């Protein structure tokens, strides 16, 4: 028998939150979900925090997970035990969460509870589709040097202001907001374990201006992180991983700016996909590259055409990152390069080994950046549904 470690009601802790919690702890075992409104038990198998298979009646794999996201009432328990068998599910846990919330919002997943129905959700034009609360892993309190409380409705961070603090959310939920000519635009919701700040926050590099406002949804308890200690962690990294971290930090700002511009219809897609196609979406690319000259643009081909996700410049990277999922890798997006684009190849295995040796807090910080890039990229694609996209001639 395995070790019983977690149980509860999905009315209070939904499946998306459960996936994030098990993922942050790199859990291996079986999640069992039951409901008085369902005849069959749902099973999701995890290996190192990632769902690898699932079953629900005649459904298996990703189809079973998708269906379980529609359960509004039920009980769950997680048993730690060895998981054998083939890795059927290839998507990352955050990609699964974002896709399922979108499908719920579009009425593609049946809801199961006191009232079972299938209905396409309707939103006012100024209302976003369902957004997950991006949470972080368990908090390492040895890096927390102080605590601050921010009451509901107050700003934690003001857009356009300089700031050097780095926080982790200990309790509560906050919204990341960008001011636009159309009014405030919600980008993400973040919760316990999520970080507020950037690499520039503790390195005192140029660009430490806050790129968005962060507002407390309810009373939020913040942990002030030890910037000096994080700076020491950063300086212990190789030059290559430091450059990777800084580029990842820039990528989140790029993704956010792109989502805002798409929402405002300020994007001319032909400007992003007019160059040579360096990597085609869905191509099996194992390489990782850093730009030495020129520029590159990442765009996802959707049913509505191409949606730009980021513009990259010297020092930035693209390709396969085996230890992170940003929603901008070759399996989910294409890369277009300028005529003068030049790159050098990185060794993803070396980067991966260094990533695994980082302090728990810095590793969690890097993972949080990647999750926010993934969520923001998905948001850009949602905004792209309202725009006509031109497919390039390749």
For residue 353, the domain's CATH number is: 2.60.120
Tell which of 236, 260, 278 closes a domain.
Answer: 236
Q: Indicate whether 120 pLDDT > 50.
A: no
- For residue 342, what pLDDT band results from cuts at 50, 70 and 90? very high
Rounded-to-integer distance, Cα 70 and Cα 14, Å: 10
Q: What is the mean pLDDT of the chain?
A: 86
Domain count, the chain: 3
Question: Which of helix, strand or coil describes residue 108?
Answer: coil
Asked, for residue 120, whether it belongs to a domain, the answer is no
Geometric angle at alpha carbon 308, from 306 and 310, rounded to 5°: 155
- For residue 382, what pLDDT band results from cuts at 50, 70 and 90? confident
Domain that holds residue 155: 133-236
Q: What is the pTM of this model?
A: 0.81
Q: Indicate whether 309 pLDDT > 80.
A: yes
Count other Cβ atoms within 10 Å, centred on residue 257. 18
Q: Are residues 258 and 386 in the same domain?
A: yes
pLDDT attached to residue 121: 36
CA 106 to each of CA 118, 122, 244, 374: distance values in angstroms, whole numbers, following the listed order = 10, 8, 36, 19
Strands 167-171 and 174-180: unpaired
Q: Are residues 191 and 138 in the same domain?
A: yes
Q: Are residues 29 and 144 in the same domain?
A: no
Q: Indicate whether 345 pLDDT > 60.
A: yes
| Neighbour-count burial of 268, counting CB atoms closer than 10 A to its CB (0-12 exposed, 13-18 middle, 19+ buried) | exposed
Q: Are residues 40 and 53 in the same domain?
A: yes
pLDDT attached to residue 1: 54
Q: Are residues 363 and 261 in the same domain?
A: yes
Tell which of 219, 236, 253 closes a domain.
Answer: 236
Q: Per residue in 180-199, is it b (16+ CB within 10 Å) or e — as a string?
A: eeeeebebbbbbbbbbbbbb
Q: Percent of the chain, pLDDT > 90?
A: 54
Q: Are residues 96 and 161 in the same domain?
A: no
pLDDT attached to residue 25: 79
Q: Are residues 375 and 243 in the same domain?
A: yes
- For residue 6, what pLDDT band results from cuts at 50, 70 and 90? confident
Q: Indicate whether 206 pLDDT > 50.
A: no
């Amino acid at each position: 028998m395995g070790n019983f470690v977690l149980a509860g009601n999905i009315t209070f802790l939904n499946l998306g939150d459960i996936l994030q919690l098990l993922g942050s702890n790199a859990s291996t075992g079986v999640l069992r979900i039951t409901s008085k409104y369902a005849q069959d038990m749902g099973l999701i198998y995890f290996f190192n925090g990632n769902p690898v298979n699932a079953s629900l009646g005649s459904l298996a794999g990703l189809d079973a997970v998708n269906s379980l996201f529609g359960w509004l009432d039920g009980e769950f328990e997680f048993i730690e035990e060895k998981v054998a068998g083939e890795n059927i599910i290839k998507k990352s846990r955050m990609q699964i969460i974002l896709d399922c919330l979108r499908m719920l919002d579009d009425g593609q997943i049946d809801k199961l509870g006191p009232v079972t129905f299938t209905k396409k959700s309707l939103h006012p034009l100024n209302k976003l589709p369902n957004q997950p609360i991006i949470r972080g892993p368990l908090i390492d309190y040895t890096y927390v040097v102080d605590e601050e409380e921010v009451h509901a409705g107050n700003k934690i961070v003001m857009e356009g202001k300089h700031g050097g603090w780095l926080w982790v959310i200990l309790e509560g939920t906050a919204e990341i907001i960008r001011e636009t000519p159309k009014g405030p635009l919600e980008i993400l919701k973040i919760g316990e374990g999520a970080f507020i700040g950037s690499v520039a926050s503790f390195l005192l590099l140029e660009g430490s201006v806050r790129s968005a406002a962060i507002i407390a949804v309810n009373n939020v308890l913040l942990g002030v992180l030890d910037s000096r200690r994080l700076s020491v962690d950063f300086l212990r990294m190789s030059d290559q991983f430091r450059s990777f971290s800084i580029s990842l930090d820039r990528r989140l700002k790029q993704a956010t700016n792109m989502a805002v511009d798409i929402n405002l219809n300020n994007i001319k897609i032909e400007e992003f996909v007019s160059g040579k196609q360096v990597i085609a979406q869905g191509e099996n690319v194992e390489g990782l590259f850093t730009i030495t000259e020129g520029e590159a643009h990442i765009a996802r081909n959707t049913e509505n055409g191409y949606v730009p996700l980021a513009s990259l410049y010297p020092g930035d990277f693209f390709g396969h990152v085996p230890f992170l999922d940003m929603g901008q890798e070759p399996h989910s997006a294409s890369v277009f390069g300028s005529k003068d684009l030049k790159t050098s190849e990185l060794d993803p295995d070396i980067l991966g080994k260094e990533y695994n040796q980082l302090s728990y807090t810095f590793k969690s910080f890097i993972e949080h950046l990647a999750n926010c890039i993934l969520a923001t990229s998905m948001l850009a694609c949602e905004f792209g549904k309202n725009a006509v996209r031109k497919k390039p001639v390749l």
